[in-house]
Structure 1
Amino acid sequence: MPFSMLKNLKVLVVDDDATTRLALRGVLSRQGYQVVEAHNGQQGIEAAQVHRPHLILMDVVMPELDGYSACAQIRLLMGDESLPIIMLTAADDMQSIEMAFNAGATDFITKPINWALLTERVRYALRTGGLNREVRRSRLREAAVRRVAGLGYWEWSLGGDTLAWSEELEPLTGVAAHHLANLEALIEYTHPDDRKRLLSGLERARDTGSKLDLEFRLLAGTDERVLRLIGERGTQGEDANQLFGVFQDLTDSRRAEALVDYLALHDETTGLGNRRLFVRQVRNAMDGFRINSNKVLLVGTIDLSRFGRYNESLGESGADKLLGLVGQRLKDGAGPVGVEVARVGGDEFAVMVLAQDEGGAAQRFQGLLSKLTQPFRVGEHEIFLALSAGYALFPGDVSDAESLLKHAQDAQRQARRTGHQCLRASSDQDMARQQRGQLALERDLHKALERQEFFLLYQPQMDFAAGRIAGAEALIRWRHPTLGVVPPVQFVPLLEETGLIHEVGAWVVQEACRQAAAWERAGLNLRIGVNLSPRQFLSLGLFDTVAHACRSAGASPSLIELEITESLTMQDVEHSTELLQEFRQAGFLIALDDFGIGHSSMEYLLKFPIDVIKIDRAFVSQITTARGDRAIVRAMTVLGQSLGMTVIAEGVENQRPCDFIEAVGVNEVQGYLIGKPMPPQELEALARGYTRPL
């Protein structure tokens, strides 16, 4: 150790012999140490507390208090096990040595002192003491980091299937380590929905040597803790039969993230969603519109005229209370399904309405506006609000969420300028042009079936467990002689309005049954889903139409899956129940389409004979980033499977969402990742040679 470093090290010499102290001072000073002296054991204790030496040389035999007792008290008072204490003794028998170590001595030197040996022992003791102090500090720092980060260590002995956990486990999770002594016990304490994923991850790390890194929920009584488990297999010697890693309690972090997400997406004054959440909801709804959807999406905005005057008359808190009442009245008027409400500006609210047609959507929006014309009471004040509103429609006006909201705001401002309460975001010229186009399209639509311009494409559905194509959804297309292929969103609503849906719908059923029979004869038992429109479903002859088409084609009813929506069944519950029972008894399958965005009533889900539920893509598109969507998909999956239903997730376009969906237990998946809508010959080739994407 360099001299410059030694001069800062302090040595306490405790000896009642002045000659020995003088000699020790001389030798140690020449080595560069600072020397402090004490004449007896009691003075040595006091000097140690005052000077905080780096090393103590302690004589054994002293008046008042011997070295053994003084050493023991110094250890007790200073609480520093890394402080070197070297005993100076004339006795070299084992009993004296044992007494020195029992008192807390680090080392001993016999008298007469060998000075060369003394300097080496002192240097060694100081170096060892410094290392011990650094180790202790490192452990304290490590413990602090682990405590703050919620970290601990674990090991899995593969040979004996035993799990070892660091002492942090119980404080962090509430579960004692002995309760998680092996893999079976760990799985038992894991949330049922996470068990398969955790077991697969551990087995994969064990069998392939891949790194383990996953989150799961540990059950601690009535509480759940979110743990992240990281680990990897050893590579050398006995370590190759061990998995080593760390665990981290993420419960508080995940709860904080959920709170941050909520605050980032909601308005504090009203509790409604804010603009960011509303645009996301509109975007999801637009994305969730099936290519052959026959619904309409309305986005409307409501501006409270001259709201600043209420800040002046009611004060800021009173005006905030009024905004809260407006938000609550809109929320109450929205009902449980089909409408979303948000506050998108200081005195501006937005509404999203999902309906079967434009008239129904506009009617619901007008109903909300009428509720705001009724008086509000804030304290002793009765307040009547003036407002202006506008709305835009999809499909029709624009094709993205932000533009749809902007068009609605433009219409609202136009309504305010012209003195109207509410306007649609289209000029008269635009309306006339749209009407002319619709009339021409309607005229051609009447001839399309006769000219055989309709055709079906089939989008495949993959069964996770079997790893094969299990079925397909039949999707109608129209090849117009001059316009090319017309999107279903443009002509399916016209089929409904003109009543042509009965003839075209019957053709779709016949074609799907014919294709199912052809595949069945070719050795492919592929289930085909056929969408039923509202007019079809409510017609009295639907069962006969479907049954006749199936018999004529020679198809097995079990290969025909009739897809209905929740809102469709709600229009006439009694009729729906009787009709679905009739189809079920005939051997047809029933699928509940767009599950989660309609009524989703447990009562009707139990009442209707449903075989399949299809989770709407609105919940699938954000499943990798939105924890709420993951929870909803998991809940719907558990609900469906507990009722004996097959669960299919729609709109899966990438592998990562597919992995999430498989992890939560969904049975089948449909989307562009598996295959786009394709002609029957392409789907047959895909089904015969299908290999799951890795």
Structure 2
Amino acid sequence: MRTSFRERARKSLTVVVTLLLVVSEFGFLHAVYSRGQGVREQERVVGRLVSAVSEVDGPRSVTLVDEALPRLASAGVAADELVPLRDAVTSLRAAPTDAQRLTATRSAAARLDRLLTDRSRTIDVQADLIWVALLVVVSLGWTVWFRRLVGRHRELQRQITEQQAAAAGEQRLAALVHNTSDLVTVLRSDTTVTYATASAQGVVGLRAEDLTGRTLLSIVAPEDAPLLARLLVTTAPDDDHPVRLRLRHADGRLLHVEGNLVNLLAHEAIEGYVLTLRDVTERVELEGQISYQALHDPLTGLSNRRLFHDRLTHSLQRRRATDDEVAVVLCDLDDFKDVNESAGHDAGDEVLVTVAERIRAVAGVGDTVARLGGDEFAVLVEGASADEAAALAERLADAIGEPIVVAGRQVVVGASVGLAVTGGASAGRPEPRRAPRPDPRPDARTAPRTDAGELTAADLLRNADVAMYLAKERGKGCVALYEPALHEQALQELQLRSDLARALEEDQLVVHFQPTIDLATGVVAGFEALVRWQHPTRGLLGPVHFIPTAERTGLIVPLGRWVLREACRAAATFQTPTRRVTISVNVAAAQLTSEGFGDEVVAALRDSGLPPSCLLLEITESMLLGDLELIRSRLEVLRRLDVRIAIDDFGTGFSSLAYLRRLPVDVVKVDKSFVDHVTDDDHDASLTRSIIAMSQSLNLATIAEGVEHLGQAEWLRATSCRFGQGFLWSRPVPLDQARALLAVAGPLRPADARDAVAVGAA
């Protein structure tokens, strides 16, 4: 209304001002015209008078002047301007014939004519100036006015354009709001919905008209109702706040929604809170699945190492306030690799799932059960005493040891169980044990303690790991408790493993050779390759110091491969056109059962140029207690290569004639424990004689180990033992000294061996 009144007033004022300007202009023009008309009339009268006076005589001139004077006065000529003409006519009237007076009268009339002419010119100039001034003023005025009109027109056009754009924007916004998939609502302070978009049907399953008029709290999850109420109170005017809620869908589903809440109570067109929500249920569920997968084992559904470590850390932190004990039970399946190899990985996965179910069933409700990787499981026990945790460990070992039916056949998979409790050493009595395998996880050794004397999660896991490997050394299915004394032993084992791995990389290992003597002739028939470690700080170490560690850590495979290649390379140099010298190489069980062992033997023979018949591979009798069929198949492959096979340490295990008949064996090595007493113990002599006789009956050669004096050598020769090996002839020596032993002509005697060794050393 006020805008319309101002607009009308402005228009009226414009009309009035325009009229005033026009009237004023016409007034000026009229005034100039009127003033010019009088002067021009005077000029005409005087002009005629001047013409008349100049042509008549004196009396006639007087008459003409007398007639003209009233007309000039009435025409507006000033009286003082007529005085000279009056005086001249008065003088002429007295003497009309006087030529001088007539001339004076004519001169006065002429002067008046010139005066009026000048005045007329002046008036014309003034009129021109006034015309020019009026033209300039009017032009400037109209220019300014026109510019103002153009400016107002442009402003009006801009306003119209803005209004059109705003209207179009509002239309687009209305269309977007109406068609958006997000739910847009306007709420009162009590959450009553005063407006809802049509998308309400797609989001919460309610039509917009059904949602309007009811409170939003009626469909908000009860746990989130206080959050929405608090947001309505705390959100400032014109401020917006992110919102995450759970809504109940019309079909009963629980939805996860997120959006923004804007306080527009002060906006006269809205007067409420604008709440915009979008359904993010799928995203939230996907995030939950990803989080679950990141913290759980996909095969068994148990917690993984990361989640277990996190919960163990929090348990240890809570322990500071409660002083409750925290225990970790670590289970490692025994011989699980055999299940995978014999029945396949699918069967192995089935075994793991079954074991996980058994562990979960035995563990307490509040205990955390995890699969740490491979066939290793762990249980976190809080608030239990050491005795209670030990009892749980025993129950776990028993439950896991129960037979499992997989792929139609029964499988027994035991578990070695290690237990570590925050209270320190267990109550169990310590027993002699070998060093356990170190923890392969890098943080198990170096993880910092939270406080001086406080165990970290890595510490407790490492302790349980140490105890678990102690259980493995005691036998399958055993349970062991951690003792602090084991820690230093584990670190020593770890250091030894690290040094041994470095020794393989840096060529710190060397091969020594112990001769095998033909007892009938006394000459060197071959050598046994024995590895030694030239340790940078501890000097030359025999195999007893590092082979057990290599077997436990898996380094025995690369170590055995290296020894095989070095022995073949050295043995190739022993051969001559007239003499074949054998080389014996010990083979570990892990080597023989590995898939590529046959290829490794072929590569060693090919690269060295050693004839296959000169290579004698020795396996221990204890290997035969494993998968006999697998071992037999591997040995047959080697025999087809023309490589010879020997049974080492024969007589110390459980071998029988049946084993020897089924296996492709060429040589039997009689263990030193029998040879030691063949000359002074009838029982050992009888056993040794039986082994030699049995071997001969199977066409197997025999080698007696550990021969240390001539009496033993004579007894063995008399018993038809083919070969002997021992300190009587030589200790294991480096390659140069072994070549010196080969160079001895005739039978090798102890004195000859000492001389040859001295020559080789020189």
Identify the TM-score tier after normalising by the shorter chain. 0.3 to 0.5
Pick 1 or 2: higher relative contact order, CA cutoff 8 A, min separation 6: 1
TM-score (norm 1): 0.39
User: Which protein shows a greater Rg?
Assistant: 2
More helix by percentage: 2
TM-score (norm 2): 0.35
More strand by percentage: 1
